[in-house]
Amino acid sequence: MNVTNRTFSADLSGLFNPRSVAVIGASSTPGKWGFEYARQLLEGAPSRAVYLVNQRGGTVHATRTYTSVQLLPAAPELVVICVPAAQVRSAVDDALAAGARYIVCVTAGFKETGEEGHRLENEIRERVRAAGARLVGPNCVGLFDAAAKLACTAFWDLPPGDIGIVSQSGGVIVELGTRLPHEKLGISRAVSVGNQADLTVAEFIESFAVDPNTRVITAYIEEYQDGRRLFETIEYARSRGKEVILLAPRAGEAVGRSVASHTGSMISNEDVLASICAELDVVRVRGIGDLLLALRGIDAPTRAGGRRVAVVADGGGAATLATDAAIAEGLEVPAFSAELVRRLKEIAPNSSVGNPVDLVGALDLGVFRPIIQAIASSGEGDAILMNGAFNNVAGASIEGECAVAANIRNICSQSGIALSVASTLTGEPAMTALARDRVPVFDFPVEAARCLELGRKRLPKRKLIANRTTRLFVGEVDYLASRTALAGAGVIFSKAVYARDADEAARAAHSIGYPVVLKALGSLHKSDSGAVVLNIRDEVTLRSKLESLSNELRPTGFSVEEMVVEKDAIELLIGGVRDPAFGPTVVVAAGGTRTEIWRDRVVALAPVDEDNALRMLNSLRIAPLFGGFRGSSRIDLDVVAKAVTAVSRFIADHDNVSEAEVNPLIVGPTRCLAVDARIVTAL
């Protein structure tokens, strides 16, 4: 269970299983939306009342229509609106007056069309909410519930099953409805959310989380209205034992954000989305093909509990390709222990068995069975990836070949090890038998490996931490004020003294002790503008440099600072950005003046605790430097983690802070000091 303060209570059972439904805009013209909605809803009529509303009266699908919602014999629990956009507002008013609890607005022509459409959409939403009702859409294509026999859709013909689909695209639902039967899978619930004027993707995930007929929730998302809430609801669904797959194309690259610091230039929506999925171990795919692979992996008899894969193939090329495919997916192909190698050598004395296992020329599936048994019982793998032809060259009967396949499947299932197969002869009876038993069987090892990774059991690396009561950041946000504010949050800074002129600068340097750093204030990126002078060792040089900076830059003042010199020092950046979709985030990166070039960074939702700050630090590509590399000294990562948590809490705690940054944070074996800071507030 997550540790946020939110309460999860999206009870939408009346929407997916209404006692009565009315269609405003029912039509007798085939091909029109009102015709299709009426047809599908009437097919589920034995379990609910269906009322058809048409201003002209008459019949639709041999069913009486009413000229007004007000004339219905009873209040409809759900109303479907499929009339032109100009008539939607009055249709909504009529539905609410009739007592509707839920409205599905199919009609397009709202916020997607511009400012006036957006205004009208907001007005309709407020009317619905004021009446205590809920709205799906507008600009959607309806919803489906297999158990309730509700097909409130147009042009959908969906197979029943246990997969829930929440989608910003009706077309994605249609495509999955076409493809899932080929995977022996089906749909429990589906909803096209449209513009999400009222009900959102997150709320539907909440409702699917408590649906007993839904085992897997898939969500297709193109935009993120409240990204943090989305992931809170995903956590909630997973805490209730639901699998969640996020079908999310690449997010936009920080469109419209003004860049005021290194941190802002480094973070995009895609960075945040990818990092959140990684830290919460959420399955994220970018296409229907990978979504189907993930669903097959989740539906397999056994799923990998880790990343260790044993590769078993019928030749050197097959072994190499399967090994490469596994590694490319982030899986591991570790060498077997000496004991397991010895056992495998006894079974296949002329084969290479160190992992991968190359049973060269062994096409008969029966040859593989004892190898699979030995690996599965060893505890040295989480999954087995088989790659080969696996045809019946030994002359065994079809029944015997299928029995061997079933035995291999049972060996893996009983050992708790996942099995994925790539075969050049997927039509062979043994392969068909494995596929029938839900073992993933593919034509190529790339697919088999990806299926293993996407179907792997996942445990979040962290839980989302609730924001504390936020407040506004007040006062100046210049350089020295930024240092003071972040120091108050817990970041340790080098010594610094403000100076208006050369005399004050000299006194400051004397109090700090030479060598010092002189910074001319007022520039956004001080190093880029030549506003920073390092390693000043005496007063004469200090006064000379100050005069030069005054003439060249016309600064608002100066900061005289301790010159931080650390043996084997590493420069880091710690920053926070209030992302428009995901809220407060924290980034850890290789720092200094070249931070944009290195682009070595890790992003997380803020705030983070020290354990997750350490995880972020150890995820950087430069992480090997922290432990001492080729004779350099180790650094105290726990101290660095405290700085990360301090910045993350600062950005999370202040609603009007859009960016906060420490760069560089100089980290050495004896000290961890911030030497520069920036805070940007929203207008």
SS3 at position 393: coil
Q: How many Cβ atoms sit within 10 Å of the Cβ of residue 83? A: 21
453 vs 462: CA distance, rounded Å: 20
CA dist 119 and 110 (Å) reads 8
For 537-550, the pLDDT digits (tens) are 999 999 999 999 99
Q: Which of 469, 430, 670, 413 is nearest to 567 (CA)?
A: 670
462 band by pLDDT with thresholds 50, 70 and 90? low
Hey, how many other C-beta atoms are within 10 angstroms of the C-beta on 443?
A: 12
Angle at 184 between CA 206 and CA 412, to 5 degrees: 90
Distance CA 259, CA 680 (A): 10
**Predicted pLDDT at 4:** 47
In tens, the pLDDT along 555-586 reads 989 999 999 988 878 899 999 988 888 889 99
The pTM of the full predicted model, rounded to 2 decimals, is 0.86
pLDDT at residue 256, rounded to an integer: 33
What CATH superfamily classification does 304-449 receive?
A: Succinyl-CoA synthetase domains (3.40.50.261)
Under 8 Å CB-to-CB from 37, ≥6 apart: which residues?
Answer: 23, 26, 80, 82, 106, 142, 152, 153, 154
Q: Which of 47-61, 229-243, 425-439, 516-530 has the lowest mean pLDDT?
A: 516-530
Neighbours of 636 (CB within 10 A): 15
The pLDDT score that the predictor gives to residue 145 is 95
Q: What is the pLDDT of residue 508?
A: 97
Q: Is the pLDDT confidence value at 262 over 60?
A: no
DSSP strand pairing (558-562 vs 496-499): antiparallel
SS3 638: helix
> Tokens for 142?
């309806």
Distance CA 509, CA 562 (A): 8
Helix (H, G, I), strand (E, B) or coil at 139: coil
Phi, psi at 315, each rounded to 5°? 180, 165
Determine if the peptide bond prior to 624 is cis (ω within 30°). no
- Judged against a pLDDT cut of 70, whether residue 132 lies above it is answered with yes
How crowded is residue 461: how many other Cβ atoms within 10 Å of its Cβ? 14
Looking at the domain 13-247, which fold is it? Rossmann fold (3.40.50)
Distance between CA 431 and CA 533 in Å, rounded? Answer: 71
SS (H, E, C) 483-500: HHHHHHHCCCECCEEEEC
Q: How many residues does the chain have?
A: 683
Question: Which residues is 624 bridged to in the sheet?
Answer: none
Report pLDDT for 468.
62
Choose among 252, 112, 229: nearest CA to 169.
Answer: 112
Cross-strand partners of 247: 220, 285
Which CA distances in Å does 440 have to 154, 301, 313? 33, 9, 16
Calpha distance 304→456 (Å, rounded): 5
Give the three-class secondary structure for 137.
Answer: coil
In the DSSP assignment, the letter for residue 462 is -
Instruction: Identify the pLDDT of residue 445.
Output: 97
The token pair at 8 is 């999860």
Fold of the 497-562 domain: Dna Ligase; domain 1 (3.30.1490)
Please state, in angstroms and rounded to a whole number, the distance separating the CA atoms of residues 268 and 357: 43
| Rounded Cα–Cα distance for residues 297 and 313 (Å) | 20
For 390-437, write each residue's pLDDT tens digit: 876 556 678 888 899 999 999 999 999 999 999 998 888 889 999 999
* Distance from C-alpha of 496 to C-alpha of 508, rounded to nearest angstrom: 8
Token pair for 546: 């100050």
**Which residues sit opposite 219 in a β-bridge?**
166, 246
pLDDT at 287 over 80: yes
- Let me know: does 638 contact 454? Beta carbons within 8 Å: no
Q: Determine the Cα–Cα distance for residues 643 and 492; give it in Å rounded to an integer.
A: 8
Q: Name the phi and psi angles at 87, rounded to 5.
A: -100, -5
Q: Where are the domains of the chain?
A: 13-247, 304-449, 497-562, 570-681
Token pair 């440099």 in the structure block, residue: 545
**CA-closest candidate to residue 18, choices 38, 48, 51:** 48
In the numeric block, the tokens 């936020």 are attached to: 470
DSSP string, 103-131: EEE----SGGG-HHHHHHHHHHHHHHHHT
C-alpha distances in angstroms, 639 versus 311, 535, 675? Answer: 42, 26, 15
Residue 647, pLDDT > 70, answer yes
Least confident of 39-48, 192-201, 235-244: 39-48
Beta-strand relationship, 63-66 and 102-105: unpaired
pLDDT, tens digit, for every residue of 64-115?
Answer: 999 999 999 999 999 999 999 999 999 999 999 999 999 999 999 999 899 9
Report, at the CATH architecture level, how domain 570-681 is classified: 2-Layer Sandwich (3.30)
Same fold flag, 13-247 and 304-449: yes
Q: Which of 177, 214, 171, 176 is nearest to 194 (CA)?
A: 171
- Beta strands (DSSP E) in 67-180 are 78-81, 102-105, 134-136, 142-145, 150-153, 160-167
Quickly state the pLDDT bin for 6 (edges 50, 70, 90): low
Q: Which uninterrupted H or E stretch holds 317? A: helix 316-328
What is the crossing angle of helices 269-279 and 227-239, to 10°? 20
Is the pLDDT higher at 77 or at 458? Answer: 77
Name the band, by pLDDT with cuts 50, 70 and 90, for residue 389. Answer: confident
What residue type is 343 in one-letter code? R
Question: Closest by alpha carbon to 423, among 434, 410, 436?
Answer: 434
Residue 257 confidence class, pLDDT cut points 50, 70, 90 = very low
Element (H, E) at 61: none
* Contacts for 110 with CB less than 8 Å, ≥ 6 apart: 85, 117, 118, 120, 121, 124, 138, 139, 195, 197
Amino acid at 288: I
* CA terminus-to-terminus distance, the chain: 36
Question: Judging by DSSP bridges, how do beta strands 243-247 and 283-285 pair with one another?
Answer: parallel
